[in-house]
Chain A
Amino acid sequence: MNIKEVIVTINQMQADGVIDRYAIGGAVGATFYLEPVATLDLDIFVALHTAPGSRIVSPKPIFDYLTSRGCKTEGEYIVIAGWPVQFLPPTGPLVEEALAQAVEKDVEGTPTRVFSPEHLAAIALQTGRAKDKARVLQFVEAGVLDAKQFQAILTRHGQVARWQQFEKQFLSDKP
């Protein structure tokens, strides 16, 4: 079980032209900025290729590439180096922007890309489950968000009202 090995495999997949730009999101992405956040899977956001002669975006080339190299599928996941990995296309403008502006990182000599902390927090706010709200709080408490940049993202993607509600619920001293 080794996340670094997953990153090496995905970099190779990119070098082989199976995927374009990718970025790590979710709890593993958050761990680049926060204390380690326990998770059972790894979210990789990718700009997927359309199949030749088709306008439909398909994850098939990814699955074909990885299964031919011995990886097993488990539902919508594919297991790489012991980690269930989910390849996710950007599902809206916020995630598209997060992918386009992902930050280059280095893991002991292995390059990778991760969503910025501001985008991770904005996506968590938008997703809005209990654990996502907890993650937003972690980002706020850790002081890793650039307030100006975060506010700009919220404004661009229509999340200001949601943020105000979040602030009132979790960051206000008044009940």
Chain B
Amino acid sequence: MTFDLEKILASKRAYRQTLAAKPIAEKLRMLDALRERALAIRQDAPSFNVARETPSKYRTP
């Protein structure tokens, strides 16, 4: 455990690299789990009026 920001950031980068290097099938299973979690959080969250980004589907300008 450290409070050295440089070390913390380096550790985060290393963790992201470890995740990125995992086999694709494993990463896709993670996406399945992440989506289930996101949906559960949305379901339990109170419905505030929040600012949301308007989706834009790959339109050319």
Q: Which residues of A approach B to under 8 Å, CB–CB?
A: 1-4, 25, 27-28, 31-40, 43, 82-83, 86, 88, 91-95, 105-108, 123, 126-131, 141-142
A91 lies within 8 A of B25 (CB): no
Q: How far is the CB of A84 from chain B (nearest CB, A)?
A: 10
Cross-chain contact A126 with B38 (CB below 8 angstroms): no
Assess whether A142 is in contact with B57, with CB atoms less than 8 Å apart.
no
Chain B residues near A92: list those with CB within 8 A: 58-60
Q: Evaluate whether A94 and B20 lie within 8 angstroms (CB atoms) in the complex, with A38-B38, A107-B28 already known.
A: no
Taken together as a complex, chains A and B put the C-alpha atoms of A40 and B31 apart, in Å, by 9
Question: Which one, A1, A35, A105, contacts B32 given CB within 8 A?
Answer: A1
CB <8 Å contact, B24 and A36:
no
Can you spell out 17 A-B residue pairs with CB atoms less than 8 angstroms apart? A3-B29, A3-B31, A31-B24, A36-B30, A36-B34, A38-B35, A39-B31, A43-B57, A83-B35, A88-B58, A91-B59, A91-B60, A95-B60, A123-B58, A141-B13, A142-B16, A142-B20
**Nearest Cβ distance between residue A17 and chain B, in whole angstroms?**
25
Q: Verify A130–B35 contact, CB threshold 8 A.
A: no
